Amino acid sequence: MSRPVVAIVGRPNVGKSLLFNRLAERKNAAIVEDTPGVTRDRIYAKAEWRGRTFDVIDTGGIEPKTDNEILRFMREQAYIAISHADVVVLVTDVKTGVTAADADVAAMLQRAKKPIVLCVNKLDTPGDPPADFYEFYNLGLGDPVGISAMHGYGTGDLLDRCYEHFPAEDEDEGEEEEMIKVALIGKPNAGKSSLLNRVTGEERSIVSDIAGTTRDAIDSIVERGEDKFLFIDTAGIRKHSKVNEAIEKFSVMRAVMAIERADVCLLMIDAQDGVTEQDTKIAGMAHDSGKAVIIVVNKWDLIEKETSTQADFEKKIRTDLAYMTYAPIMFISAKTGQRVENIFNKIKEVNAANCFRATTGMLNTILADATARVQPPTDKGRRLKVYYMTQVGVKPPTFVCFCNDAKLFHYSYLRYLENRLRDVYGFVGTPVKMIVRQRGEKDE
């Protein structure tokens, strides 16, 4: 992307996420807890300073020497963030002073040959810095900037130092590129992060057999030819009975927010588990939000197959997700890459359906044909009359039917009209919203 990138790095629990939230001006943009290691994956946000828009990346704490699997993955994530950055902010903690881990991280950053701004956090009292502040000159990174991420002191000075290292501004930098936003949703361990890593071609998200490894919603831009897609990986949504920690509660909220941001949702289902009760709830969130949906059955390489295995599996999905008959089903293996590339054309197809707008003239031709084929219902001698239909919105396509009496408009007849629209326009992958309005009612 043409916007400058600032990566916030440091050892665990020095206040990186609090600083990220301060710069992004979003209270819960990153999960903030006193538990070390809470931020596991890179988090992106847009920020602005002195008229320049830039991207800020929060990273998991770097533990230079560790055998712990999750901490090792977090360190690798931070390395990737650094490689993408124009400026790296090394956050340290004045209360603990310079530690051996700080020195190791500083040495690693110097080898990366990136502009580095040394930030000393937790100077929560205004005034001259304490004597301990000057100890940080020993890291060999130049003049440190003292801040309080908690209270906001010094963050302007920190941003000024970052600004000095921003690359020259592109003429078209302010223009937002059009991208299809795709949310990866599903229960933990369904393979969302594996799919993200497969399509991006890098270890973008931590992949582990530990369920719930991805706690935050993270963004990746993926290009295929002239098309650009923004993939939003989400924390797996757990059953409510298991959402005990505050961290997990934040993650469920983040997944819901990711669905709201997305144009298309890829509902990941584990082929070994089939559709679970949890999957139906997650699917319901996307359906209720009016998003285009593709049902992606992952780990298909692990299933022993017979002649009708795929057809039987598809039939079971249609039964379990009866309200989502419009969603296409794809069978893939994120691990081997089987049929993964086919997802991109399907994303474009369902997004186009979600954004489709029909002409009023064509809609009323369809309506006239539909009412001629199947007469509108009657009640106590009074017949429903549908005067005309018009489209009032997209994402999802939303239609209003004007009639003589809304009470006569049975749900079954409304569904019939929806099916006629689908017969003509397809609307693959998108819900369709039908609204009944009695003639004489005020237009909203």
CATH architecture of the domain formed by 360-438: 2-Layer Sandwich (3.30)
Would you list the domain boundaries of the chain? Answer: 5-163, 180-353, 360-438
Four-CA torsion 145, 150, 156, 162, nearest 10 degrees = 60
pLDDT for position 213: 47
Comparing 41-45, 116-120, 146-150, 243-247, the range with the smallest average pLDDT is 243-247
pLDDT for position 219: 73
Cβ distance 237 to 252 under 8 Å?
Answer: yes
> Residues of the chain with pLDDT > 70: what percent?
79
Tell me whether the CATH fold assigned to 5-163 matches the one assigned to 360-438: no
Q: What tens digit of pLDDT does each residue of 120-172 get?
A: 999 988 878 888 899 999 999 999 999 999 888 999 999 999 999 998 876 44
pLDDT for position 215: 44
- Give the residue with greater pLDDT, 408 vs 58: 408
pLDDT for position 92: 95
- Give the residue with greater pLDDT, 233 vs 363: 363
pLDDT for position 202: 67
- Give the residue with greater pLDDT, 221 vs 164: 164
pLDDT at 313 over 90: yes
CA-to-CA distance for 378 and 400, rounded, in angstroms?
20
Cβ distance 298 to 268 under 8 Å?
Answer: yes
Please compute the mean of the pLDDT values over residues 322-340 and round it to a whole number: 95
pLDDT for position 271: 95
* SS3 (DSSP) at 189: coil
**CATH class of this structure's domain 5-163:** alpha beta
Question: Angle formed by the axes of helices 246-261 and 277-288, to 10°?
Answer: 40
Comparing 61-70, 85-94, 240-249, 379-388, the range with the smallest average pLDDT is 240-249
CATH architecture of the domain formed by 180-353: 3-Layer(aba) Sandwich (3.40)
pTM of the model: 0.61
Please compute the mean of the pLDDT values over residues 325-336 and round it to a whole number: 95
Q: Can you read off the two tokens belonging to residue 284? A: 């319901």
pLDDT for position 39: 45
Average pLDDT, the chain: 83
CA-to-CA distance for 358 and 344, rounded, in angstroms?
25
* SS3 (DSSP) at 230: strand
Spatial CB neighbours of 265, under 8 Å, sequence gap ≥ 6: 182, 183, 185, 259, 286, 291, 292, 293, 294
pLDDT at 247 over 50: no
* SS3 (DSSP) at 293: strand
Cβ neighbour number for residue 357 with a 10 Å cutoff = 8
Q: What tens digit of pLDDT does each residue of 394-436 get?
A: 999 999 999 999 999 999 999 999 999 999 999 999 999 999 9
